[in-house]
Amino acid sequence: MPYFYFDQWYFLLVVPAMILGLIAQVRVKSAYSRWSGVRVSTGLTGTDAARIVLQRGGVRDVQVTSVGGQLTDHYDPAKKSLALSEGVYGAASVAAVGIAAHEAGHALQHAEGYFPLKIRTAIIPLTRFGSAAAPFVLLAGVLFSFEPLVLAGILCFSLAALFQLVTLPVEFNASRRALTALEESGVIRTEEERTGVKRVLSAAAMTYVAALISSLATILRLLLLFTNRRR
């Protein structure tokens, strides 16, 4: 008899986690759409905000560039490049300055050697290997009814959860840096702008929380199925 089969845990654990992930994605798009339509009173763009945050942090060797797509903003530590999406790079909206400042926060983390970021960077190769290998290792364990391989597959799945867990403090810290820098530098000046930035960044952070919950739900389901099968 195989280890894994139609089970209640999928509907009790995995499906709710998937729904939470969808809700988080909807919240991000909704917050982005809402606050992309609100112009900051200073008239500063996402690019301006990113450069101000970088300068305030003493970082002068990071290039701010434009990248295609929506919500594709990211910081590349290898190239020391901060890429802002089309709706952020030249936009003078609350959403744009918030997202740009957040990504600049990652550049500041990199420059100062922020420990959680160093850990996340170090485990990236391991988590990529684990994510790629997990389905095959788990399938082999099931097909051959070999418990060590099943456990190895579950462990590989766990590496993704580890990466997501380490990502949380990195993302929350970058958001705190962003909000503080925007307020202290005067990029945002009104309570409405502050609220908008917080909502955009909070919605984005929830996607990382949802991803972690989804991974943990999958791991727990696999462990429960494995444990029940052994009994």
Is 3 inside any structural domain?
A: no
Residue 148, pLDDT above cutoff 50: yes
- Enumerate the β-bridge partners of residue 75: 82
Is 51 inside any structural domain?
A: yes
Is 38 inside any structural domain?
A: yes
Residue 23 DSSP class: H
* 183 is a catalytic site residue: no
For residues 38 and 92, the answer to whether their CB atoms sit within 8 Å is: no
pLDDT class for 1, splitting at 50, 70, 90? very low
Residues 151-205 have pLDDT tens digits of 999 999 999 999 999 999 999 999 999 999 999 999 999 999 999 999 999 999 9
Q: Which residue has the higher pLDDT, 32 or 142?
A: 32
Q: Which two tokens stand for residue 94?
A: 């609350």
Percent of the chain with pLDDT over 70: 96
- Which among 86, 103, 112, 171 is annotated as catalytic? 103
Mean pLDDT of 9-23: 94
d(CA 95, CA 197): 6
Is 207 inside any structural domain?
A: yes
Is 33 inside any structural domain?
A: yes
pLDDT class for 5, splitting at 50, 70, 90? low
Domain extent at residue 53: 8-230
Tally of CA atoms within 13 A in the half-sphere of 41 that contains its CB: 11
Average pLDDT, the chain: 93
Domain count, the chain: 1
Residue 210, pLDDT above cutoff 70: yes
Q: Which two tokens stand for residue 42?
A: 């200073």
- SS3 helix, strand, coil % of the chain, rounded to 5? 75, 5, 20
Phi-psi region of 22 (alpha: psi -120 to 50; beta: other; left: phi over 0): alpha
Is 80 inside any structural domain?
A: yes
Is 2 inside any structural domain?
A: no
